[in-house]
Amino acid sequence: MREISELHELLQGLVSICTGLDKGRIILADQGRSPPAGGKLYATYNPIPVRAYGQPSQRLEYIDALEEHDEALGDNWQDLEEITASSMEMMLSVNFFNEGAAQAAMMLHNANFRTPISDYLFIHQLGFRYVSNPRNLSTHFQSGIQPRWQADIHLFVDHEVSSKVLRAAGFSIEHYIEE
């Protein structure tokens, strides 16, 4: 993953498979979107990067030339892209609204041990750490008229950051192994 937006569909699917809620009733938070119609249970989710975790790995890859170059260097001039990959801890804040909100929040706990969910995590290379204590937000908003519950899923995802590197004229990369 290079952009958080790459995770949106995967995280929406994770909330769906953990709770049994239809994907159409799970929306990305803070978009100014209206809730799904019908007054039934729905959820919002918000992925929040927490921190990079562990030792990153780095690699170099050839890319097309970024700047003009001397034609005497040849036609296949390339620059480099340095890619740093690390494990990123993410917090997925999930809010449930309407009747069934408490049950949906409870279903997140130990979801990673259920077979379809563990398969989903493995296929999409998501690491499931734990789920926070569910919080009853009903009393804080609208005097309990609309049930609201919140829980945070703590995950690990692979994260990459890249930088473009211009090569000096005539410089090549070779790997030497000393014996």
Q: Give pLDDT tens digits for 39-83.
A: 899 999 999 999 998 889 899 888 887 777 667 767 777 788 899
How many other C-beta atoms can be found within 10 angstroms of the C-beta atom of residue 47?
19
Confidence check: pLDDT of 10 > 70: yes
Percent of the chain with pLDDT over 90: 56
Distance, in Å, from the CA atom of 13 to the CA atom of 6, rounded to the nearest integer, reads 13
Q: Which residue has the higher pLDDT, 67 or 98?
A: 98
> For residue 174, what pLDDT band results from cuts at 50, 70 and 90?
low
For residue 108, give both structure tokens: 């997140």
How many other C-beta atoms can be found within 10 angstroms of the C-beta atom of residue 138?
17
What is the residue whose two structure tokens read 């989903």?
120
Question: What pLDDT does residue 173 have?
Answer: 58
Q: Which residue has the higher pLDDT, 143 or 62?
A: 62
Q: How many residues does the chain have?
A: 179
Least-confidence region, from 84-88, 153-157, 165-169: 165-169
Distance, in Å, from the CA atom of 29 to the CA atom of 26, rounded to the nearest integer, reads 9
| H helices present in 67-178, as ranges | 101-106, 115-123
Amino acid at 25: R
Q: Please name the helix (run of DSSP H) or strand (run of DSSP E) that holds residue 11, with its range, or none.
A: helix 8-19
Q: What mean pLDDT is predicted for residues 136-162?
A: 84
* Under 8 Å between Cβ of 75 and 134: no
Distance, in Å, from the CA atom of 91 to the CA atom of 46, rounded to the nearest integer, reads 8
pTM, two decimal places: 0.79
Least-confidence region, from 17-26, 28-37, 161-170: 161-170
Up-side HSE of residue 177: CA atoms within 13 Å toward CB? 1
